A = this chain, B = another copy of it.
Amino acid sequence: MNLTDSTATQIRAACSAAASAAPVYARLPISHRAALLRALADALLGARETLVPLADRETRLGTTRLNGELDRTVFQLRGFATQVENGTAQPLLDDPAIPGAPPLGRQRLTRIAVPLGPIAMFAASNFPFAFSVLGGDTASALAAGCPVVVKAHPGHPGLSRAVFDLAAGCLAELHLPEGVLQLVQGSGVDVGLALVRDPDIEAVAFTGSLRGGQALWREANARPRPIPFYGELGSINPVVALPAALQAHGPALATALAGSIVLGCGQFCTCPGVVVVRDDDLGQAFVRQLAEGLAAATPHAMLHAGIRAGFNAGVARLHGHAAVKTLVAAPAGGEAPGAHLFATDATSFIADEGLREEVFGPSCLVVTVKDLDETLDVLAAVQGSLTVTLWGADEDTPDNHRLVVAAQRLAGRVLFSGVPTGVAVTAAQQHGGPWPSSTNAASTSVGYAAMERFLRPVALQDAPAWLIQRRGQA
């Protein structure tokens, strides 16, 4: 299925409909907002038999993965519904008046949060359910009381339309304005630019490439009235495999890491792109086991030709690099790309920025280090990342303290076991790290704190009782 690009008039109409719906939707009783989220979840579940095959035809991600992703998306919509019911989307902090002169004396202040208004949401190619039309950004914006204008990803146009039609049916059934969810589409940059520039859009949520995200972020800042831009961009997700962990579980960790690298053909923002190991017998054995695991892996085809071309260029760059050894490679021509493993030393890694760039796909670069200091130097050279994984840093030692501080400085999530792929939807989750992995490191695009992106605090001074009871939803 091919969809025609939305015209400027259609984009304007979508944003205008969202703006008209915004005050109606924001004032909706909280139970109705939750009911919409639950209805959307039910609609997805009910259409599984149609949606998953359609998604598979368009993305080649396989029905097992896509069924799991649909379950995750349903779980997420229901989770946000529960948050709405619990009041998390409508926080209230009340400071009573204190008689007397300032600074102690004060009027009554009640801090609430108000929805920003229409959100532009850019769907991702690699999660056709979970980061697309009814994915996490949409669920969190709707939970926060904001309408959403989705820019469908051209990688799965038929699925985007089908899911949108389901959602439109839910809105109609619940007698909610169509403007609460709108869909625009475009394969070039123009539709995205028009959306970010639209005066009715109050914030942008984006998941995608560093280049595309940065361009749209600049556009959001260049508006006469700049708006928040929440971009989740590229990340190389370093894994540090310390001797203690390799001694205890080397082979199991090698198998787990190989699985994480090839999962979804490496098309995950949390795919581990760098593994840091000591240049000793344990480290060498681990790298051999990792290489065996990757050589035996059979990743599926990539999402589209553009991603594949980028991957081929990335591995070719490493393959031809004087300071890089190719440990596992596959011919560039097959339908699926095949896993790749490369190796370099800390000095070369630190010296060449090109070695620290993300290669989106099933490829990993081993960086061998002499000691802890070199490990820290390697981490200091890496740009902001979504995750850092530290295997074997469990003991309360000065060395581990230094590693933890370096990892926290670099990333939004620090793992002490397991692999970075697989991002749980929960209140404590943080999926967003320092620039350039995110444009706003204080925000998350996964988990319930994602709602905060679309709310703004307002302090009501001496507010009437009826308004406080309604948490400002006048």
Contacts and interface: CB of A to CB of B under 8 A. Distances in A.
Interface in A372-410: 383-384, 393-396, 400-402, 404-405, 408-409
A102 B422 contact: yes
B111 A428 contact: yes
Given A412-B458, A430-B457, 6 more contacts: A93-B427, A106-B424, A107-B418, A411-B458, A414-B463, A415-B462
A457 B464 contact: no
Contact of A408 (B114, B226, B442, B447): B114
Given A107-B418, A427-B111, A474-B405, A412 B459 contact: yes
Contact of A462 (B117, B402, B418): B418
Interface stretch (A69-77, A275-283, A323-331, A357-365): A69-77
A472 interface: yes
Interface in A256-296: none
A110 interface: yes
Contacts of A411: 458
A38 interface: no
Contacts of A4: none
A417 interface: yes
Interface size, A (range): 35 or more
A417 B18 CA distance: 33
Instruction: Count this chain's copies in the assembly.
Output: 2
Interface of A: 23, 27, 68, 71-72, 75-76, 93-95, 102-104, 106-107, 109-111, 114, 117, 218, 221, 225-228, 383-384, 393-396, 400-402, 404-405, 408-409, 411-418, 422, 424-430, 434-436, 439-442, 444, 447, 449, 452, 455-464, 466-467, 472, 474
A369 to B, nearest CB: 20
A103 B177 CA distance: 31
A264 B251 CA distance: 71
A435 B414 CA distance: 34
